[in-house]
Amino acid sequence: DAKTTQPNSMESNEEEPVHLPCNHSTISGTDYIHWYRQLPSQGPEYVIHGLTSNVNNRMASLAIAEDRKSSTLILHRATLRDAAVYYCILIRGSQGNLIFGKGTKLSVKP
Amino acid sequence: GAVVSQHPSRVICKSGTSVKIECRSLDFQATTMFWYRQFPKQSLMLMATSNEGSKATYEQGVEKDKFLINHASLTLSTLTVTSAHPEDSSFYICSALGLAVAYNEQFFGPGTRLTVL
């Protein structure tokens, strides 16, 4: 599976937008871009996924570069509950395995 | 939404004993379930994938005789850590994938923290 690169940590202020970057320069045409997050001492939860077009859901937006070599998860208004480790994962095809990297630890300051 | 539960949430056992962890999909049928292990301050590591009614597929380096996985029904998978030792202490997390729920989305349980004394 193609690898992803994310910053180890990021900080945000409460109620401000957060842009979490992910590089995936070796992505293949059939790789889906998934984002999961893990709150402390909990199992991960799905955030969003996309293939080529930008995606929006109730939790976040996913902006995918035109060449698909990078993507950005956007939290429109960070809350304290958004403090978590965010994982950007590529999955080949329809229902492949999730291979978790180190992710980005997001801290949200009040 | 789709909910996955795990039981127990925490377990402490003596070295040499076996521990069983249950993973249940509460409101959907899970065709595939996954078991992960997470050590402190590390990421999740996939241990094995199980499909209902068939043998689990283990990742390289995971001992199948030590980590017994049973996926006997579409809503239940169990992980048994046999002859547990202190190095098996970890956070064990399951996830489930169902055809009837959101495409491509794995639903994770809350995790089970195992401490082996």
> B25 pairs with which residues across the strands?
B4
As a residue count, chain B comes to 117
pLDDT value at residue A51 = 92
Closest CA to B36 of A99, A106, A86: A99
Q: Give the model's pLDDT for residue A92.
A: 81
B104, B114, B115: best mutation site toward chain A, by most A Cβ within 10 Å?
Answer: B104
Residue with the bigger pLDDT between B2 and B8: it is B8
Contacting residues of B for A104, CB less than 8 Å apart: none
Contact indicator for A47, A55 with CB cutoff of 8 Å: no
Q: What is the pLDDT of residues B7-62, one digit of tens each?
A: 999 999 999 999 999 999 998 888 889 999 999 989 999 999 998 888 899 999 99
A80 and chain B in contact, CB less than 8 A: no
Is residue A79 within 8 Å of A15, Cβ to Cβ?
A: yes
**What span, in angstroms and rounded, lies between the C-alpha atoms of B43 and A99?**
10
Q: Give A49's contacts in chain B (Cβ within 8 Å).
A: 104-105
The predicted-structure confidence for A66-108, as pLDDT tens digits, reads as follows 999 999 999 999 999 999 999 999 988 766 778 899 999 999 9
CA distances from B35 to A33, A38, B32, B105 (A): 21, 16, 10, 15
- pLDDT tens digit sequence for B65-78: 999 999 889 899 99
> Does residue A49 contact residue A95 with C-beta atoms inside 8 Å?
no
- Whether residue A73 contacts residue A47, with contact meaning beta carbons closer than 8 Å, is answered with yes
- Smallest Cα–Cα separation from B109: which of B12, B41, B25, B28? B25
Residues 6+ apart with CB under 8 A from A29: none
Residue in chain B lying closest to A105 (CA): B41
Question: A36-50 pLDDT, tens per residue?
Answer: 999 999 999 999 999
Q: Can you tell me the distance from the alpha carbon of A22 to that of A47, in angstroms, rounded to the nearest whole number? A: 14
User: Shortest CA distance to A12 belongs to which of A81, A87, A91?
Assistant: A81
**Residue-wise pLDDT tens digits, B77-100:** 999 999 999 999 999 999 998 766
- Which residue in A32, A41, A98 is closest to B106 by CB distance? A98
B107 touches A: beta carbon within 8 Å: yes
The dihedrals phi and psi of B87, each to the nearest 5 degrees, come to: -70, -10
